[in-house]
């Protein structure tokens, strides 16, 4: 009953699956601790080009952290250790060097919303529900999570979500910029598979450089590693994939990128 974080591979696309369906994919301590190692495995697999994260089944993406563990794990020193553990999980997901997509069915609440915010792209079913409810539990909300929410939906919408702890449906989530697109529930999986494949067909070095640049631009200007960004751009220009891309364009065919 403690749940698992699983990797399901399909060609150049991997699905990172939060599997705790008995509790609507609520994230347990075991699962939080597993996330950094799972992400490391995805990072080191050069055959993968895109990662799609989702909850098992279609009832929930992640319904939050597993509240049944709160009394034991989130009081006193235990609460501080829990925050360090979750911060490591969020940082690992944010720093994945491949494009990360969140495929969101049903409940995306609390820690689930925070996990979704680590993704580069968020696609939701029309039954999706979002909320950030620490104010209803008496919890302090970590600064990195608030910063991620502000960058995504802006400060006024962030204040609304945090202060009211209200639930937001898929249409409102789209209007405020919390998700990129909304699909009919029965169509979401296929639509995301097609979008992921479209991304996977593009040049891996360009995708990695673009993601790195987005990550650096999200940091305060004084902390940005501009040299690292320039090196990634230069690597693209020096690559065989750049030559292949130009040839394919001139020959009016699809490019066959190799990632070097």
Residue positions counted in the chain: 260
In whole angstroms, give the CA distance from residue 203 to residue 240. 10
Rounded to whole angstroms, how far apart are CA atoms 90 and 72?
Answer: 22
Lowest mean pLDDT among 61-75, 100-114, 127-141: 61-75
pLDDT at 127 over 80: yes
E strand or H helix that includes residue 190: helix 185-200
- Encoded tokens for 201: 């067909």
120's tokens: 């580069």
| Whether the Cβ atoms of residue 256 and residue 244 lie closer than 8 Å to each other | yes
pLDDT of residue 1 exceeding 60: no
Question: Cα separation of 215 and 90, whole Å?
Answer: 14
- The tokens 């919390």 sit on which residue? 178
Average pLDDT along the chain: 93
State the burial class of residue 85 (Cβ atoms within 10 Å of its Cβ: 0-12, 13-18, 19+).
middle
Domain boundaries, the chain: 4-199, 203-250
Query: What phi and psi, each to the nearest 5 degrees, are found at residue 3?
Result: 80, 165
| pLDDT at residue 54 greater than cutoff 90 | yes
For residues 236 and 210, give the distance between their C-alpha atoms in angstroms, rounded to a whole number: 11
Closest CA to 112 of 97, 122, 98: 122
The reported pLDDT for the residue numbered 106 is: 97
State the chain's maximal CA–CA distance in angstroms. 65
| Mean pLDDT, rounded, for 126-140 | 91
Query: Per residue in 135-156, pLDDT tens?
Result: 988 888 888 889 999 999 999 9
Measure the CA–CA gap between 224 and 227, rounded to whole angstroms: 9
pLDDT of residue 143: 87
The predicted pLDDT at position 138 comes to 85
- Categorize the per-residue pLDDT at 76 as very low, low, confident or very high, splitting at 50, 70 and 90: low
Alpha helices, H only, 51-178: 70-73, 76-95, 111-116, 134-137, 143-153, 155-164, 170-175
Are 207 and 49 within 8 A, CB to CB? yes
- The stretch 245-251 carries a mean pLDDT of 95
Classify domain 4-199 by CATH number.
Answer: 3.90.226.10
Calculate the alpha carbon distances from 172 to 103, 129, 212 in Å.
17, 10, 29
């Amino acid at each position: 009953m403690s749940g698992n974080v699983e990797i399901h591979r399909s060609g150049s696309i991997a699905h990172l699956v939060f599997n705790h369906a008995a509790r609507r994919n609520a994230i347990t301590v075991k699962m939080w601790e597993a996330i950094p190692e799972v992400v490391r495995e995805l990072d080191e697999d050069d055959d993968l080009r895109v990662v799609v994260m989702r909850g098992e089944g279609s009832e929930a993406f992640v319904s939050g952290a597993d509240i049944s563990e709160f009394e034991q794990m989130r009081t006193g020193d235990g609460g501080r250790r829990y925050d360090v553990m979750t911060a490591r999980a969020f940082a690992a997901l944010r720093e994945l060097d491949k494009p990360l997509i969140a495929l969101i069915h049903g409940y995306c609440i609390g820690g689930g919303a925070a996990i979704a915010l680590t993704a580069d792209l968020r696609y939701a079913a029309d039954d999706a529900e979002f909320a950030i409810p620490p104010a209803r539990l008496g919890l302090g909300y970590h600064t990195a999570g608030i910063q991620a929410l502000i960058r995504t939906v802006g400060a006024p919408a962030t204040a609304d979500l945090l202060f009211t702890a209200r639930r937001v449906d898929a249409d409102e989530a789209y209007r405020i910029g919390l998700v990129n697109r909304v699909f009919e529930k029965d169509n979401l999986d296929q639509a995301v598979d097609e979008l992921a494949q479209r991304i996977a067909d593009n040049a891996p070095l360009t995708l990695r450089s673009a993601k790195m640049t987005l990550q650096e631009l999200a940091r305060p200007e004084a902390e940005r590693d501009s040299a690292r960004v320039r090196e990634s751009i230069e690597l693209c220009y020096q690559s065989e994939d750049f030559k292949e891309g130009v040839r394919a364009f001139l020959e009016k065919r699809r490019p066959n990128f190799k990632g070097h």
